[in-house]
Chain A
Amino acid sequence: MRNSSMDGGISPFHNIRPNEWTKLSGNNVGELHYSSILGFPFLFKSGHQLSFISFELKSSSGTCFSRYVSGFLVQMSSNCKNCSSNGKLCSSIKQKKAWESFHRRADGRKWERFVVFLLLMVAVCGLFWVLTSSNRDSSEWKMETPVSNEFKDQVLPEYCNVSKKEFHALDSLFSQRDRVTSLACCRESGFEMPTSCNITRGLKIQGSQALEKWHKMVAKNVEFNAHCPTRDESITFVGLPFSKDKTVSFISQLGFLSIPSNHLFYRKNELQMKELQDHATYYCDSNSFGLAKICLWILVGVIISFNIPKLHEKFSSRKHEIIQETPCAQQTQLLQQAQSSSRSTGKWRKKMLIVFVLAGVVFSIRLFWYLSEDIILRRKETLGSMCDERARMLQDQFNVSMNHVHALALLVSTFHHGKQPSAIDQKTFEDYTERTAFERPLTSGVAYALRVRHSEREEFELQQGWAIKKMETEDQTLAQDCNLENFSASPIQEEYAPVIFSQKTVSHIVSIDMMSGKEDRENILRARASGKGVLTSPFKLLKSNHLGVVLTFAVYNTHLPPDALPEQRTNATVGYIGASYDVPSLVAKLLHQLASKQTIFVNVYDTTNKLAPIKMYGTDEIDTGLLRISNLDFGDPTRKHEMHCRFKQKPPPPWQAITASVGVLVITLLLGHIFHAAINRIAKVERGYREMMELKHRAEAADIAKSQFLATVSHEIRTPMNGVLGMLQMLMDTNLDARQQDYAQTAHASGKDLISLINKVLDQAKIESGRLELESVPFDLRAVLDKVLSLYSGKSQEQGLELAVYVSDQVPEVVIGDQERFGQIITNLVGNSIKFTQDKGHIFISVHLANEVMLPLDARDEVLKQSLTIVQVGSNASYNTLSGFRAVDRWRSWKNFKNFSGIPEETEKIKLLVTVEDTGAGIPLEAQGRIFMPFMQADSSTSRKYGGTGIGLSISKRLVELMDGEIGFVSELDIGSTFSFTVTFTKAEANYLETMRLQCDPAVPEFRGLKALVIDERRVRAEVTRYHLKRLGISVDITFSMESAYSYLSCYSKTSVLENLAMVLVDQDCWDKDICFLLHNLLKTIKQNGSKNNSGIPLKIFLLATCTSSSQRKELKLDRIVDNVIKKPLRLSALAFAFQEATGFGKTGHNTRAKPSTLRTLLRDKQILVVDDNAVNRRVAEGALKKYGAFVTCVEGGKVAVGLLKPPHKFDACFMDLQMPGMDGYEATREIRSLESEYNEKIKSGEVSVDMSENLAHWHTPILAMTADVIQATNEECIKCGMDDYVSKPFDEGQLYSAVARCHQGLPSLLPDSAMTLNGG
């Protein structure tokens, strides 16, 4: 297109000579190079939504590429990416942090988790909101860019079109003229293409439409070329495409002529835009980054504030722990402290919350302020850029028009004055100006006034045929109505400037003297003096109502140098070209071309006179806040113009700032609300916790109080009961008749029962308060069981029950544990069984290792084997149980035990399984659940029927639990019950066992090696008998009936099998007098044989009887069939006694008579030292010990005692008070012990002869402590300082005995009475 216009425009002057060309171009600003129009790449790329525009500028001096737009667009897009990626990064970091915090709190309470989740949601939402808003920002800016691009697209073609049309006009104008003229014209008008002809440009227009456009243009061009007559004669133009070869690809090379100023303008514009965009992106960046930072801070704050309560919780929980550790008395105090501390932290939390909310509000206000400031700033900048843009465009448009007028002046100078005759007349001028009017779109008209001096006026008027007229400024009628006749002739002046040529639009001013108008005259004078275009101040244009300015150029007859003096210029002046500019329409037109014209007001002022600016364009100013003033330069330095821009609308409320701050505010309040709720919840929970703690403490205190009350009351009852019992005892000592004696005895027995009950209650209370301490001393398990049996032997005999105990061989003889408690459990169970078993059946206690139950069937104990499966044996409906009555399956009672065989073989611990089987009433199913609850019996009738309080089983259960065991039972109504429990004991050393055994029962060795034959039809019972005999060292054979026994004995009577057979034991059930008689005879013969063979042990027959009246026994004895009747239950001591009685040996005066006598034997003729500072105590002790036949020496203090006990001495024992003034008991004992060891050393080394110390090789005087309060700690202290034992003050006979016995014999002998103390009813 450009090409074609150029072709059309320049071709009239194609014969221009180079020097003329240079001259013409030298007249102008830039250089013209026609020789180097090169092909240039025409970039055509279509990208995404951003138009990729590339400008290629080629200056004559070289080539430079700049891609401003593309550069900045890319930059911007990358910025946006950066921004968004920043945002993502931020968000991911936040999420991570939030997640971490979330995890940290995961073990916390549920609601806290919920709150965290909510917070997270809020934070994420806020983040999204912030990001989207910032993205919107940047997209807004992006939107603006296409607008400006569009604008450029619009403007550029317009400019192109203008110049094309101009060339077209020129060409058509001069096509008929001769070449020289056109050449001259070309030379003069070369400045029209001011700087360079070979500035080329590739403009990319989107889409194929643009391509089509180009097609059309090229076609036109070709057509035009055909029209052009001078086409073939082109010489200097090189490389113009399409001149001949139409087949050449028109896209590849296109030459453009363009107006560099346009480029410059664009470039500037672009630069500015770029700056603006950079600025905007920076803002957008910083904005979003700032918001992200803020969000991050908020989140950090949230996390911290969440951690604080956690820390606090830790702290407080630690405190609570401390509280729990401290004793009860301090608890309340500490609790109060904790309460106050938690209360203060609650307050602190609330304060934090308030601070947080206030900070949030302040922050949101600040944010609002900051964002609105930002918006205002941006608005200001937008206005500024728009205003500047408009001003610059106006200026440029004006300058272009001015150049045209200048060109016209040169044209006139060349063709009117330079030619003789003139090549221009009115017609030609009119025609030319009409056709080139589009070049000066802003001028309403152009006219040429000739300079006529007064001397030439006549001639001129004559020549023109009209008189010079005077301009009448007063007349302001419209141009159409104007009549030349109305103007009066100009008055005589020095010189005139009558208009000779004019454009048609202003043809009415022909012949008017321009010098007559004041403004025009000044203008003309200035113009010819300066040689440049000058402007008038705005005034109402002649005959039109518009404001306008007149531009005047002087036409010189000679070519003047640029530095010509004003006088020279004035002299050279031949005429004036004037053009009137209609400023309002100019501006309006310009603004119309621009986008967003709706948004701003534009006012143009002439501010040459600063005090009174003249408004050239625009409406009355309404103050809408912002005002932007841009300077306009219309090429006339004497005049100053300004453009004022305002926005049409008042600034809208800053919605973004409002939403942002409101959002932040809402988030803050929401967070505040959540925290508030959380704090309230924490406070509530804490309050609840405190209440609960208080209640707990109260409950505990109540429990302790209950236990204490129980203990106290029990104790308090016990004391007067002792009194009652004592008095009863005294009463019974008095002379009472039989009835009174009976009453007294009943009362005494009841009192004893009461005492035992109270002891139980005390036990229960002790166990409940955890104050029961289990002993761990070695004891003989079997002896304990014998004791229990002895307790109940009377009762069982009364009721006709079989009572038996069996201990498996695998159970060690001696174990370490609390024998009293163990005995108590069994006593309780057996007592229960006896209570509920009436007149039939049996009670069978068996003890096995827990592991035995796990053994395979073959390896099991016979009793266990039998008892595991209850089967009917024989025809007479008897079972394989102890008594033949049916019992429950005992294994069911322990099947629920959890850690049954939990103890490995290797460890020191053994676990015993004890079962107590009875054939009693059984427990109803519905009562089985509460059987172990204290004070609960199967039903209320039970206590009526059987008595008892129901506390025994509960105590047993607790005791069992204390011994690491479990208790269980199985029961069936009318069949019986079986209670099983496990206890854990420690194994005792093997050698300990032997010594104990020997000391325990010296009668045992007497029977060792003997043999016995047991005749019993029941296997289990036979096993029990075997067990007892085995304990005596007697080996046992078992037969099931008298007959088999008879045959057995008769078979082996002659052999040595029966060599050691010493006794035959017959159960009562198998008793058959006839066979027995035979047997007796047989035995007699054997006896006779045996008396020869054996070591004098006579063979005896014993009857084992459950219940036999004394008369029956006597009868049997008298018959001499049996040697003795052994009453069941079988016990070691009873058996031994019976055997001894029957055989007559072993009677070594070993008796089990009453305590006092025993104590007497122990203490008789012993020298005993009593050390006590208290005279009363001393006397009492003396009296007590003397009672038992001891010789007592009393001393007052520890020092004297040490002196007396310095070995060798005569004392056998010493009773020492612990608390004495001067040397106390501990110290004295230590001293005595050190003296003794010293002496022992001496004996060893032979310094002291042994006989001096009564064949004692080792001195160790038993020292017994006397203490008022016997507590475990004191006891331990006594043992530590070398005392042997302790007795409580005042002396208790039983205790005294056991202590003394322990000291003298190593262990207490088993007395029935001490067994009585063991039981508990």
Chain B
Amino acid sequence: MLGFGAERLRADMNRLLALLFHQGVLDEQYLELQQLQDESSPNFVSEVINIYFHESEKLLRNLRGLLLDREFSDYKKMGIHLNQFMGSSSSIGAKRVRNLCIAFRAASEQSNRAGCLRALELLEYEYCYLKNKLHELFQIEQQRNLAATVRYPQAQHHLNNP
């Protein structure tokens, strides 16, 4: 039962990933990232993603703070933030976030405050979406891992209890 659940979870995970790929939320870089995960670093992906979330939230906060400041004029600083955000996003393969960053940067280069604000809104939305989905993904993965580890006894248990 649970073994089957593990398989199902794996399928769910794959479906979710495919969906994310289809939506363009993620790209192949995420797969690359997954490939880097092996026995030596079993939680590599989640580790990286967590770092990403941490960094990104900090950056988003900074960006929002910069933009809401009354005497705001430091587009350059915003550009640096955005570059960072973009770099980390492309590293984990968060494609839509990255694209929004590009748009945001374009708006900031033109000193278009309204555009920046709009981009920030979108970015936050997209980031939240990504975060949710990735959390979902990790949850499934954790469950799967859990299932995989406990599969054997579970199966036994299952056999024991027809």
A contact residues vs B (CB 8 Å cutoff): 719-720, 722-723, 726-727, 730, 1172-1177, 1179-1180, 1183-1184, 1186-1187, 1217, 1219, 1221, 1268, 1289-1291
**A1176-B41 CB under 8 A given contacts A719-B27, A720-B21, A723-B28:** no
- Shortest Cβ-Cβ A-B pairs, 5 listed: A1176-B88, A1183-B36, A723-B21, A722-B28, A1176-B52
Whether the Cβ atoms of A1176 and B28 lie closer than 8 Å is no
B114 within 8 A of A: no
- Name the contact of A1291 in the complex, choosing from B21, B27, B32, B37 (C-beta under 8 A): B32
Chain B min CB distance to A1199 (Å): 16
Contact B91 A1219 (CB under 8 A): no
Can you sample 14 A-B contacts with CB below 8 Å?
Answer: A720-B22, A722-B27, A723-B21, A727-B14, A1174-B87, A1174-B91, A1175-B88, A1176-B48, A1179-B47, A1180-B48, A1180-B91, A1183-B36, A1268-B87, A1290-B90
Q: Which residues of B contact A722 (CB under 8 A)?
A: 27-28
B1 at the interface (CB under 8 A from A): no
Contact, CB under 8 Å: A1180 / B36: yes
A1179 touches which of B29, B48, B80 (Cβ 8 Å): B48
- Within the complex, what minimum Cβ distance (angstroms) separates A1170 from chain B? 12
Residue B92 at the chain A interface, CB threshold 8 Å: yes
CB pair A1179–B93 under 8 Å, yes or no, is no
Closest partner residue, chain B, to A1181 (CB atom): B91
The CA of A1221 and the CA of B87, in the complex, are separated in Å by 13
A720 to B23, CA, bound (A): 10
Alpha-carbon separation in the docked complex, A1184 to B21 (Å): 22
Pick from A723, A1184, A1221: contact of B80, CB under 8 Å: A1221
Q: Assess A723 versus B91: contact at CB under 8 Å? Given A1176-B55, A1187-B36.
A: no
With an 8 A cutoff between CB atoms, is B143 at the interface? no
Minimum CB–CB distance from A1291 to chain B (whole Å) comes to: 7
By a beta-carbon cutoff of 8 Å, the part of chain B in contact with chain A is 14, 17-18, 21-22, 27-29, 31-33, 36-38, 40-41, 44, 47-48, 51-52, 54-55, 80, 83-84, 86-88, 90-93, 95
State A719–B98 Cα separation when bound (angstroms): 14
Establish whether residues A1174 and B55, one from each chain, have CB atoms under 8 Å apart when the complex forms.
yes
Q: Write the nearest CB–CB distance from B151 to chain A, whole angstroms.
A: 15
CB closest residue in chain B, given A1172: B87
Find chain B residues with CB under 8 A from A1187 CB. 36, 38, 40
Which residue of the partner chain, among A723, A730, A1289, A1291, contacts B87 with CB atoms under 8 Å? A1289
B92 touches A1180 (CB 8 A): yes
Give the shortest distance, in Å, between A267 (CB) and chain B (any CB): 104
Q: Give the Cβ gap from B8 to chain A, nearest Cβ, in Å.
A: 14
Closest to B34 in A: A730
Chain A residues, CB < 8 A from B54:
1175
Contact A1173 B84 (CB under 8 A): yes
Whole-angstrom CA separation of A1186 from B28 in the bound complex: 20
**Contact between B92 and A1176 (Cβ–Cβ < 8 Å)?**
yes
Inter-chain CA distance A1176–B86, complex, in Å, is 11
Which one of B21, B28, B41, B87 contacts A1177 once the chains associate, using CB atoms below 8 Å?
B87
**CB atoms of B38 and A1176 under 8 A apart:** no
Query: Least Cβ distance of B131 to chain A in Å?
Result: 14
Q: Would you call A1186 and B92 a contact (CB within 8 A)?
A: no
B residues in contact with A720, CB < 8 Å: 21-22
Decide: B55 and A1175 in contact? CB cutoff 8 A: yes
Residue among B22, B29, B95 with most chain A CB within 10 A:
B29
Chain B residues with CB under 8 A of A1186: 40-41
CB-CB nearest in chain B for A1173: B84
Complex interface: chain B residues within 8 A of A1219 (CB): 80, 83, 87
Bound CA span A730–B32, Å: 12
A1180 to B28, CA, bound (A): 14
Across the interface, do A1183 and B44 meet the contact criterion of CB distance under 8 Å?
yes
* Residue in A723, A730, A1179, A1221 whose Cβ sees the most chain B Cβ within 10 Å: A1179
A1221 and B83 CA atoms in complex are apart in Å by: 10
Q: A1176-B92, A1183-B48, A1186-B41 are in contact. List 7 more A-B contacts (CB 8 A).
A: A1183-B33, A1183-B41, A1187-B36, A1187-B38, A1268-B87, A1268-B90, A1291-B32
Closest to B98 in A: A1268
With beta carbons under 8 angstroms apart, the residue of B31, B48, B51, B88 that contacts A726 is: B31
- Pair A1289/B90 contact, Cβ less than 8 Å: yes
Nearest chain A residue, comparing its CB with the CB of B85: A1174
What chain A residues lie within 8 Å of B88 (beta carbons)? 1174-1177
Is B86 within 8 A of A1268, CB to CB? yes
With A1221-B80, A1289-B91 already in contact, the answer to whether A723 and B27 are too (CB < 8 A) is yes
Shortest A653–chain B CB gap in Å is: 80
A684 CB to nearest B CB, Å = 42
B44 contacts across to A, CB distance below 8 A = 1183
User: Which chain B residues lie closer than 8 Å to A1183 at the CB level?
Assistant: 33, 36-37, 41, 44, 48
Q: Which residues of B contact A1290 (CB under 8 A)?
A: 29, 32-33, 90-91, 93
A683–chain B nearest beta-carbon distance, Å: 41
Give A720 to B27 CA distance when docked, in angstroms. 8
Across-interface contacts of A1217 in B (CB, < 8 A): 87
What residues of B have a CB within 8 angstroms of the CB of A723 in the complex? 21-22, 27-28
Task: With CB as the reference atom, state the residue of chain B lying closest to A1293.
Answer: B32
Known A-B contacts A1183-B41, A1184-B36; the reply to A1176 vs B51 at CB < 8 A is yes
Residues of B within 8 A of A1175 (CB): 51-52, 54-55, 88
| A726 cross-chain contacts in B, Cβ below 8 A | 28, 31
Write out the residue numbers on chain A whose beta carbons fall within 8 Å of the beta carbon of B87: 1172, 1174, 1176-1177, 1217, 1219, 1268, 1289
Q: A727-B21, A1221-B80, A1268-B86 are in contact. Are A1176 and B31 (CB under 8 A)?
A: no
CB distance from B114 to the nearest CB of A (A): 23
Do B80 and A1176 touch (CB < 8 A)? no
CA distance A1289 to B87 in the complex (A): 8
* Residues of A close to B36: CB separation below 8 A: 1180, 1183-1184, 1187
Distance in angstroms from B161 CB to nearest chain A CB is 27
**A1268 cross-chain contacts in B, Cβ below 8 A:** 86-87, 90
Expressed in whole angstroms, the Cα–Cα distance for A1175 and B91 within the complex equals: 10
Contact partners of B33 in chain A: CB under 8 A: 1180, 1183, 1290
- When chains A and B are docked, how far (Å) is the Cα of A1217 from the Cα of B27? 22
| Smallest CB separation, B19 vs chain A (Å) | 11
Chain B residues contacting A1289 (CB-CB under 8 Å) are 87, 90-91
Distance in Å: Cβ of B108 to nearest Cβ of chain A: 15
Instruction: Enumerate chain A residues within 8 angstroms of B37, measured Cβ to Cβ.
Output: 1183
Most buried by A among B48, B54, B91: B91
Residue of B nearest to A725 (CB): B28
Q: Given the complex of chains A and B, what is the CA–CA distance between A1290 and B89 in angstroms?
A: 10
Who on chain A is nearest to B21 by CB? A723
- Nearest chain B CB to A1192's CB is how many angstroms away? 11
CB proximity of A337 to chain B, nearest CB, Å:
25
**Chain B's nearest CB lies how many Å from the CB of A1198?**
14
How far does the Cβ of A1216 sit from chain B's closest Cβ, in whole Å?
Answer: 13
**Cα distance A1186–B44 in the bound complex, in angstroms:** 11
Of chain A, the residue at the smallest CB distance from B49 is A1176
Q: How far is the CB of A748 from chain B (nearest CB, A)?
A: 14
Shortest Cβ distance from residue B84 to the other chain A in the assembled complex, whole angstroms: 5
Bound CA span A722–B32, Å: 11
Q: Which residues of A contact B28 (CB under 8 A)?
A: 719, 722-723, 726
What's the least CB distance linking B87 to chain A, in Å?
5
Q: Which chain A residue shows the least CB distance to B31? A: A726
- Which of A727, A1172, A1173, A1176 has the most chain B CB atoms closer than 10 A to its own CB? A1176
Q: Which residues of A contact B47 (CB under 8 A)?
A: 1179
In contact, A727 and B18 (Cβ under 8 angstroms): yes
User: In the complex, which residues of chain A have a beta carbon less than 8 angstroms from the beta carbon of B48?
Assistant: 1176, 1179-1180, 1183
- Measured between beta carbons, the chain A residues less than 8 angstroms from B83 are 1219
| Chain A contacts for B27, CB-based, 8 A | 719, 722-723
Give the Cβ gap from A1185 to chain B, nearest Cβ, in Å.
Answer: 9
CB-CB under 8 A from B31, the residues of chain A are 726, 730
The chain B residue with its CB closest to the CB of A1185 is: B36
Residue of A with least CB distance to B80: A1221
CA distance A1179 to B54 in the complex (A): 13
